[in-house]
Amino acid sequence: MALARVYSRAQNGLEADLVTVEVHLAAGLPGLNIVGLPEMAVREAKDRVKAAINTCGYEFPNRRITCNLAPADLPKEGGRFDLAIALGILAASNQIPADSIENMEIFGELWLSGEIRAVPGILPAALKSAAAGRSLLVPKGSGEEAALAQQAEIFTAHHLGALCSALHARKLDQFVSRATLAPIRPIADLSEVRGQHLAKRALEIAAAGSHSLLMLCPINFKVVPTDADQAGSTVLQRWTDHPSR
């Protein structure tokens, strides 16, 4: 088979646009050419992929290889397509069964040793993959993030050589998450406070700018906590706990 097709997804904020990785082998000057609006890290994948395939004991085809990342007008960034490109080359050269990866979306950056490194932005891809009815193949380090999409069927791999052996045996490592989500407790919110527009506005400004609040009241005035106080505290606490603060 001189043509193979593998699915992956690009990272675009919270979106995960589908990318079809097409690999074609042809006669001509040997080399790997990646097209489809790849940025520098994606173009450098040809060196990582070649070294990883050779290190794992497989043969990098001595032919003219064209790898198309479709659609052509969608920018492709990072090393998330390394594994998809490598498996596409191996499938096109009949070194792994092509039907073992035909209904799967594949992500992972390759090291020269063949190890598969975790990549960011797996959760949006897992959600879209589950909605499309495809399974997901991700690095072991991305398994927990992908498992947050509870409807997704997730397989993991840590090394290209072991993955190829598993594809031949049709025994991929299915990921089972051991993490448990903490129950969400209901909390007060400023939207539940009626009136008090100036007070709520002051709380919002203080939360947005990480400012302090000064409450003025007569001497010996007793302050009774209300829902508004709790909601305001909740807003300020949420903003204080934000990682960027």
pTM of the model: 0.74
Task: Please give the residue that has the higher pLDDT: either 226 or 192.
Answer: 192
pLDDT tens digits, residue range 30-56?
999 999 999 999 999 999 999 999 999
pLDDT at 234 over 80: no
Task: Please give the residue that has the higher pLDDT: either 87 or 188.
Answer: 87
pLDDT of residue 184: 67
3-state secondary structure the chain: CCEEEEEEECCECCECCEEEEEEEEECCCCEEEEECCECHHHHCHHHHHHHHHHHCCCCCCCCEEEEEEECCCCCECCCCCHHHHHHHHHHHCCCCCHHHHCCEEECCEECCCCEEECCCCHHHHHHHHHHHCCEEEEEHHHHHHHHCCCCCCEEEECEHHHHHHHHHHCCCEECCCCCCCCCCCCCCCHHHCCCCHHHHHHHHHHHHHCCCCCCCCCCCCCCCCCHHHHHHHHHHHHHHCCCCC
Give the model's confidence band at 208: pLDDT under 50 very low, under 70 low, under 90 confident, else very high: confident
pLDDT tens digits, residue range 106-153?
999 999 999 999 999 999 999 999 999 999 999 999 999 999 988 889
Task: Please give the residue that has the higher pLDDT: either 52 or 195.
Answer: 52
pLDDT of residue 222: 52
Give the model's confidence band at 219: pLDDT under 50 very low, under 70 low, under 90 confident, else very high: low
Question: Average of pLDDT values for 226-245?
Answer: 51
pLDDT of residue 230: 52
Question: Average of pLDDT values for 173-199?
Answer: 76
pLDDT tens digits, residue range 44-93?
999 999 999 999 999 999 999 999 999 999 999 999 999 999 999 999 99
Domains in the chain with CATH codes: 3-174 (3.30.230.10), 190-240 (no CATH)
pLDDT at 245 over 50: no
Task: Please give the residue that has the higher pLDDT: either 217 or 56.
Answer: 56
